[in-house]
Chain A
Amino acid sequence: MTRKPQKTKPTKVKMSKKALLEIKALHVTVDGKEILKGMDLVLNRGEVHAIMGPNGSGKSTLAYAMAGRGGYEVTKGRILYGGRNLLRMEPEERAAEGLFLAFQYPVEIPGVANTTFLKEAFNAIRKHRGEGELDAMQFLKLVRQKTKELGISDDMLRRPVNVGFSGGEKKRNEVLQMAVLNPDLAVLDETDSGLDIDALKVVAEGVNALRSPERAMLVITHYQRLLDYIVPDRVHVLAGGRIARSGGKELARELEEKGYAEFAEAAA
């Protein structure tokens, strides 16, 4: 009897199942002080995770370290993004590879129109990806479609970047940038800070409109109320520079009731 050679099935790796972001034992030092002390996190495409935690627990440090801000020194551990070493990339390269950080305090840039800024960023990313740049007319068409979807007035496009914007307008401008730049991974750093409930709802709607199976989001917040509107798949508590606890969305409500006292003790 002859044996048929057995075919080996190639194992298919589905991109959507693979972790988009893997943070392993991350240690980050700012001004000589260790803020993150061995943090771990895995985030897949299509998922929205929330990072909650008391003030000073390292939430913004995590966001800045991911985006590559100077002065945030990674002393140990690593961050893999799509399987690549994120920490080796310049900030602009991280953005071009699909990482977006919505700033807690967006920066004002006088004399540069919002559209000019958006077009510069959009085309820089296209160029990095080997795609053709859009001219002024093509870009305006695209950006107008986004402002319409998000219910943002075109007036905001003509004004200089964030100059004279209210707190709510600044955050909406962050969401507009996210919509235009179309990232794979969006990190929202305390997007709710300084917003009243109406502005918060508008911003949350904008973020929800951008949820997709291809995109992952990391929502950093101190308060549970943002998570009433942007409902996460997982909630992590960052305390003392590490993830102290993880759970489902109900964890956020529990924290709202009990506060961070138990974690403050754990961190001490």
Chain B
Amino acid sequence: MAGNSIAVRPFVEQFAALKAGLPGTGVPWLGDLREAAIERFGDLGVPTPRLEAWKYTRLRPLEKTAYRAVGEADAAADAGRLPSVLGAAAGHRLVFVNGRLRPDLSTPGALPDGARIESLRDALASDPGALEAQLGRIGVLDGQPMLALNTAMMDDGYVLRVGPGVALPAPVEIVFLGGTADEPVACHTRNLILLDEGSRATVVEHHLGAGKGAYFANGATEISVAGAAHLTHHKVQAEGSGALHLATVHAEVGADATYEGFCFATGARLSRYEVGVRLVGSGANCSLTGAYMMRGDQHCDNTTVVEHTVPDTSCREVFKGVLDGKARGVFQGRIVVREDAQRTDGNQTCKTLLLSDRAEIDAKPELEIYADDVKCSHGATVGAIDEDALFYLRSRGIPEAAARGLLVRSFLAETLHDVKPEPLAEALEEMIAAWLSQAANGEQHE
């Protein structure tokens, strides 16, 4: 075992103490799933840099901090005024506080017939059998200790099911608020998005944190996009400055279906967005886009694995990071093309803008190709602000800080121009402006 077995113990003990109270108790398949997962977690251990997949990201907070499991009181915490990245454009809004659904803060909307969204707790209470075929089946636990921990401890989350041919008329907004507790807590939220044949949906997740204290958000999302369906899955990660944010997303994409994943991140002390997409139907397509802005001693890891298993599938990945201070970025992009996956079209780009000479990026593309008729490319660039462009802007009267800001926006633009709906694009613009004005004021997150 290359993992850290000492950091495992508190979670294994928590599981033993809490399992009788976890949602879905008494459902045999779920109980078995949880038991198998905690065993797997114990075997794998908490990841350490000795594992190739975690070479650049060390989960130091799990070695140093004792996180207790969330309880009823944490879930009932005062959430204050919560921002919305969609405003009136949201068709349906669910709010989770410390990992649990808060119906009092949520604003359900009218969903078309055949579409259903609810919390994991509610779904397991009403008809657990309906989730058996997917929950814990799309996500693969091999080499995934943190997903295994989530599977064992999953406490709440959202379940979105969209029936055949149904299109959601408006995006669904999910807000996750953490960091309200006085002491470090761990939430293991588990989400499920199931799109039937020919359906369409847009989901916007907004993760944010109150205060500066430590907390651990260990989320996981399983996604199935059936034939000719289309899922747009946006995520805004603005966790509190003491947060450890891990998000594992596993998606399966069917024939002529599309999965569009987008993540914009400015938050958390340490974050990892790990996406695994399996393109399992001919004509399946995915795009993964990431933009992140980090400073101080923040650490942001984007890890993707895209597996092309059948002929004629395509994927486009663009990740762009802006790093200031001593911030560190990690990009690991693996593309696997199976023997049968002829005519795969895979394209991967990772670009990083370093605003400080103490910032660092580790970029690791990996191509694993077993078919012979494929088109795969990858590229990584690292650079500083272009001095010629900076002088050009300043020579037009634009003060240096504003000119730098324009060039940062220019750098990120490629990742943002497809972001819809409009209110989300505007909210991201505001978050970028806020980040830049902090930079101009010389504020640091340290």
Is B402 an interface residue when CB atoms closer than 8 A count as contact? yes
Shortest beta-carbon distance from B216 to chain A in Å: 35
Is A244 an interface residue when CB atoms closer than 8 A count as contact? no
User: In the complex, which residues 380-411 of chain B have their Cβ closer than 8 Å to any Cβ of chain A?
Assistant: 386-389, 391-400, 402-403, 406-407, 409-411
Is A107 an interface residue when CB atoms closer than 8 A count as contact? yes
Is A191 an interface residue when CB atoms closer than 8 A count as contact? no
Taking CB atoms, residues of chain A closer than 8 Å to B399 are 92, 124
Report the interface size class on chain B: 20 to 34
- Cβ contacts B227-265/A at 8 Å (1 or 0 each): 000000000000000000000000000000000000000
The closest CB in chain A to the CB of B411 belongs to A111
Cβ–Cβ contact A125 & B411, under 8 A: no
Separation of A122 and B396 alpha carbons in the complex (Å): 8
Shortest beta-carbon distance from A147 to chain B in Å: 17
Is B82 an interface residue when CB atoms closer than 8 A count as contact? no
Taking CB atoms, residues of chain A closer than 8 Å to B387 are 70
Shortest beta-carbon distance from A133 to chain B in Å: 12
Cβ–Cβ contact B402 & A67, under 8 A: no
Candidate in A92, A106, A110, A112 with the most chain B CB atoms within 10 angstroms: A92
Taking CB atoms, residues of chain B closer than 8 Å to A122 are 397
Separation of A101 and B395 alpha carbons in the complex (Å): 7
Is B64 an interface residue when CB atoms closer than 8 A count as contact? no
Cβ–Cβ contact A128 & B397, under 8 A: yes
Cβ–Cβ contact A110 & B398, under 8 A: no
The closest CB in chain B to the CB of A102 belongs to B395
Shortest beta-carbon distance from B396 to chain A in Å: 4
Taking CB atoms, residues of chain B closer than 8 Å to A112 are 406, 409-410, 413
Cβ–Cβ contact A92 & B400, under 8 A: yes
Separation of A67 and B403 alpha carbons in the complex (Å): 16
Separation of A85 and B394 alpha carbons in the complex (Å): 18
Candidate in A90, A108, A109 with the most chain B CB atoms within 10 angstroms: A109
The closest CB in chain B to the CB of A163 belongs to B410
Tell me how many residue pairs across A and B have CB atoms closer than 8 Å. 81
Taking CB atoms, residues of chain B closer than 8 Å to A111 are 409-414, 417
Separation of A160 and B392 alpha carbons in the complex (Å): 14
Shortest beta-carbon distance from A197 to chain B in Å: 27
The closest CB in chain B to the CB of A126 belongs to B397
Cβ–Cβ contact A109 & B388, under 8 A: no
Is A68 an interface residue when CB atoms closer than 8 A count as contact? yes
Shortest beta-carbon distance from A186 to chain B in Å: 12
User: In the complex, which residues 5-51 of chain A have their Cβ closer than 8 Å to any Cβ of chain B?
Assistant: none
Which of these, B397, B400, B414, contacts A125 with CB under 8 Å?
B397
Cβ–Cβ contact B397 & A121, under 8 A: yes
Shortest beta-carbon distance from B71 to chain A in Å: 46
User: In the complex, which residues 108-159 of chain A have their Cβ closer than 8 Å to any Cβ of chain B?
Assistant: 108-112, 116-117, 120-122, 124-125, 128
Is A181 an interface residue when CB atoms closer than 8 A count as contact? yes
The closest CB in chain B to the CB of A180 belongs to B396
User: In the complex, which residues 62-90 of chain A have their Cβ closer than 8 Å to any Cβ of chain B?
Assistant: 67-70, 90
Cβ–Cβ contact A120 & B398, under 8 A: yes
The closest CB in chain A to the CB of B415 belongs to A111
Taking CB atoms, residues of chain B closer than 8 Å to A68 are 394-395
Cβ–Cβ contact A91 & B391, under 8 A: yes
Cβ–Cβ contact B397 & A177, under 8 A: no
Q: A68-B395, A92-B398 are in contact. Are A110 and B406 (CB under 8 A)?
A: no
Taking CB atoms, residues of chain A closer than 8 Å to B398 are 92, 120-121, 124
Q: A69-B391, A107-B388 are in contact. Are A96 and B410 (CB under 8 A)?
A: no
Taking CB atoms, residues of chain A closer than 8 Å to B396 are 92, 95, 117, 121, 124, 177, 181
Taking CB atoms, residues of chain A closer than 8 Å to B392 are 103, 106-107, 109
Shortest beta-carbon distance from B352 to chain A in Å: 16
Q: A112-B413, A181-B397 are in contact. Are A124 and B389 (CB under 8 A)?
A: no
The closest CB in chain B to the CB of A113 belongs to B413
Separation of A110 and B416 alpha carbons in the complex (Å): 13
Cβ–Cβ contact B411 & A92, under 8 A: no
The closest CB in chain A to the CB of B410 belongs to A111
Candidate in B392, B403, B412 with the most chain A CB atoms within 10 angstroms: B392
Separation of A101 and B394 alpha carbons in the complex (Å): 11
The closest CB in chain A to the CB of B416 belongs to A111
Taking CB atoms, residues of chain A closer than 8 Å to B413 are 110-112, 160
Cβ–Cβ contact B411 & A91, under 8 A: no
Cβ–Cβ contact B406 & A117, under 8 A: yes
Separation of A94 and B400 alpha carbons in the complex (Å): 13
Separation of A69 and B409 alpha carbons in the complex (Å): 23
Cβ–Cβ contact A95 & B397, under 8 A: yes
Which of these, A92, A116, A181, contacts B394 with CB under 8 Å?
A92
Shortest beta-carbon distance from B320 to chain A in Å: 11
Cβ–Cβ contact B410 & A110, under 8 A: yes
Cβ–Cβ contact A110 & B414, under 8 A: yes
Cβ–Cβ contact A109 & B410, under 8 A: yes
Separation of A85 and B407 alpha carbons in the complex (Å): 29
Separation of A108 and B411 alpha carbons in the complex (Å): 12
- Cβ contacts B407-442/A at 8 Å (1 or 0 each): 101111110010000000000000000000000000
Cβ–Cβ contact A109 & B407, under 8 A: yes
The closest CB in chain B to the CB of A125 belongs to B397
Taking CB atoms, residues of chain B closer than 8 Å to A101 are 395
If A70-B391, A92-B403, A124-B396 are given as contacts, then 19 extra A-B residue pairs at C-beta distance below 8 Å, sorted by A number, are A67-B395, A70-B387, A91-B395, A101-B395, A103-B392, A107-B392, A109-B406, A110-B410, A112-B406, A112-B409, A112-B410, A112-B413, A116-B406, A117-B393, A120-B402, A120-B406, A124-B397, A125-B397, A181-B397
**A-B pairs with beta carbons under 8 Å apart, 8 shown:** A92-B400, A101-B395, A103-B392, A109-B410, A110-B413, A124-B399, A124-B402, A160-B410
Interfacial residues, chain A to chain B (CB-CB below 8 A): 67-70, 90-92, 94-96, 101, 103, 106-112, 116-117, 120-122, 124-125, 128, 160, 177, 181
Instruction: List the 4 shortest-distance A-B pairs measured between CB atoms, nearest first.
Output: A111-B413, A95-B397, A121-B396, A107-B392
